[in-house]
Amino acid sequence: MTLRHLLTPLLFCLAVSTVQADNSDDIRKSIPKLNGEALIQAYYKLYVISLETDDLEYQLRCVNDFISEAHRQGNRKLEGEARVEKMTFFYNNGINDSIYEQVPQTLNYLESTKSWKNYYETWSILIDTYNFDGKTIMGMDEAKNMITDAENRKDQYGIGLGHYSLGLVYAMMRNNEEAANAYQKSINILMKLNPKPLQLAEIFSYYSEVLDILKRYDTMNAINKQWRQFLMEFYNFGQNSNAGETQNRWGYYYLSRAQVELGTGHYTEASKMLDEVKKSITYEGSNLSNLWMYFRAELYKLQHLYEEALALNNRRLQYFDEASDPSEVIRIRKQRAEIFEELGRYREAAQMYHDIYNISDSVNTNDTKNKLAEMSTKFHVDDLKMQQAEERARQQRLSIIIIATIIVLALSIFIYFRLRSARRLKVAHQKLEATHQELLTAYDQLEETTIAKERIESDLRIARNIQMSMVPSTFPDRPDLDLYGSMTPAKEVGGDLYNFLIRDDAPDKLYFALGDVSGKGVPASLFMAQATRLFRTLAAQQMMPAEIATRMNDALSGDDNEQGMFVTMFLGVVDLTTGHLSFCNAGHNPPILGTEFIDMIPNAPIGLFPGLEYEGEEIADIRGRQLFIYTDGLNEAENNEKDQFGDDHLLDIMATHHFDSAKETIEYLKAEVEKHREGAEPNDDLTMLCFTVKEMDVTL
């Protein structure tokens, strides 16, 4: 969803909700006969009629006539309304320089007339212009000032609108956590007003978009209930009679509900909600239409209807232009790359990922990242910058003392040795200038270091979110299978992986894999992503585990693997009806079946040596016994004394404890590892996968 919203022209107290289609010539002929507020209203009608033309100069002339007549009559209230109309005209037509120049003057005028609603709405125009003009830091500062101003006046509408504007700034910065907090505050305040403002419809929509990115579907459900209550109240009680607008507002509500159903795997309900969205679309190419195409394509993709998904993605791409939001471009191209992968069109998918990288790299260089952490609390700078400010003040006081001492000394020497004192004073001044320049250089270096650190931390947070999205977070709900998995990187990103696959056309076959990439950090995470994608692609072709391992080794080893990276893996496929397990161990830790380690044939890790043929094994029936697979972040977890958790301790736990579910097993072992560490930092990634194939009663 694009963040920029189009302001509806403000109506003053004399204007009705719709303007009759008066002929502008007739109105101008009647002007000499009119006076008072009727004359002002005539100029207003001329301005409204002018908006139906494409002549911006004529529109500007009409709104200036409107202002001039209200000013000539000394009607300050209507002059304020007219000034707001002019700012709205500038905003809707992207005339940003005029907004920067004239909004401060308009705010002063509205403050003098105590027109607080128009005052804060005009202020929000300035904030939005900074935000969408790429000046997000200035937009954040203005939003802070607006909230503080409204709090001092105890104006709840201004406070709520200020938090809304702040949320838009955070969303533009991709700081979704802070955007969600700001939107929630805005809703909490504005929902208490009577009547409730129309802006709530937009806030609910933007808030829903952020919650979908954060995958907070429980919160989305609660927000959707509030949203529906607002729409029912606002549009059923006659506050707005525009049928097209009403239809559009409900469309965004149903879109939010569709996002919840997609995110929670309820595809039938998601399809119903998307059908409701489609009914609300007034024309193709609108923002709502574009969003419908994206999420309908997502649904097709999840239902493995890739050709249908690609057709909708093609339609969506037709409406891109140079002004399109880069984040939206990235989202649509990422969807397209994923569809190409599923269709086996790997060259096109690779090119699409390359395009995404270039766009993302250009977006990430935006200077707004320099202040992503500035407002992590309400409006207080963080401790580091406070310490820097205090240190700067201390250095300045010290400089003053040194200068004062030099001056006193120079004056004393001047009294006794005039010629010598002048020379020494000059030397002292030169040293002082050099010291001052050194301090300035040190301050600049400190600021550059801080900015670089913030940029790296932000990029690592994004990388972690991408990596965590590649491992499953939802698990099958089946009577014949209890399955759960967990991955906890030791650093911001890691090299462990786990995954599983149950095809719709083979519901009795569970493919699974767990692995540990050599090394840690970003290189390991990239190798992990490649290994995960290869496993899922080959498993979807229903190959046996040994063949999957052989194919993966061919793809990951050889000349392309210049860093010599490899991954240890345990891969398997189990028949959920008979319990038959086929598996291949590629240099990984032995899993535990029941209470014993599985005795396995050794194979080399994947990626070390090209041309290897991997050997597989099988177990006739594992039903009723829990299969537990893990990385060495479990058995080799260390405390401060470097004592390891150990295989014996692990086996002892599995033998002496009864667990009712796979999730309970993993959560208990995670807690035991934390207890063993005794506060020590994790020395490796910790990943676990556990499942039990249940014996089902069959009644003949």
- Reported as a single tens digit per residue, the pLDDT across 221-248 is 999 999 999 998 887 644 454 667 788 8
Helix axes 199-214, 243-263, angle to 10 degrees: 20
Distance of CA 231 to the CA centre of its chain: 26
Peptide bond into 195 cis (omega under 30): yes
Cβ atoms of residues 621 and 579 within 8 Å? yes
Tell me if the domain spanning 472-693 has CATH number 3.30.43.10.
no
Q: Does position 498 have pLDDT exceeding 80, yes or no?
A: yes
Q: What is the rounded distance in angstroms from the CA atom of residue 66 to the CA atom of residue 518?
A: 72
Q: Does position 7 have pLDDT exceeding 60, yes or no?
A: no
Pairing state between β 567-575 and 581-586: antiparallel
**pLDDT band of 366, cuts 50, 70, 90:** very low
Cβ atoms of residues 493 and 460 within 8 Å? yes
Nearest to 176 by CA among 462, 381, 380: 462
pTM: 0.51
Sequence spans of domains, the chain: 1-105, 381-467, 472-693
Nearest to 284 by CA among 253, 322, 315: 315
Q: What is the rounded distance in angstroms from the CA atom of residue 459 to the CA atom of residue 461?
A: 5
Q: Which range (423-437, 507-521, 585-599) has the least confidence?
A: 423-437
Classify the C-alpha dihedral 374-379-382-388 as positive or negative.
positive
Q: Which range (195-199, 499-503, 548-552) has the least confidence?
A: 195-199
Instruction: Average the pLDDT over 608-631 and give the result.
Output: 94
pLDDT digits over 72-111, tens only? 999 999 999 999 999 999 999 999 999 999 999 999 999 9
Q: What is the rounded distance in angstroms from the CA atom of residue 530 to the CA atom of residue 538?
A: 12
| Residue 511 phi, psi dihedral angles, 5° rounding | -90, 140
Q: Which residues of 71-93 are buried (b: 16+ CB within 10 A; e: fewer)?
A: eeeebeebbbbbbbbbbbbbbee
H or E stretch covering 496: strand 496-501
Q: What is the rounded distance in angstroms from the CA atom of residue 221 to the CA atom of residue 227?
A: 10
Q: Which range (74-88, 359-373, 455-469) has the least confidence?
A: 359-373
Question: What is the rounded (10 degree) CA torsion for 235, 236, 240, 245?
Answer: 40
Cβ atoms of residues 516 and 568 within 8 Å? yes
Query: How large a percentage of the chain has pLDDT more than 70?
Result: 81
pLDDT at 424: 67
Nearest to 40 by CA among 62, 84, 18, 70: 70
pLDDT at 23: 75
Tell the burial category of 216 from Cβ atoms under 10 Å away from its Cβ (0-12, 13-18, 19+). Answer: middle
Cβ atoms of residues 83 and 108 within 8 Å? no
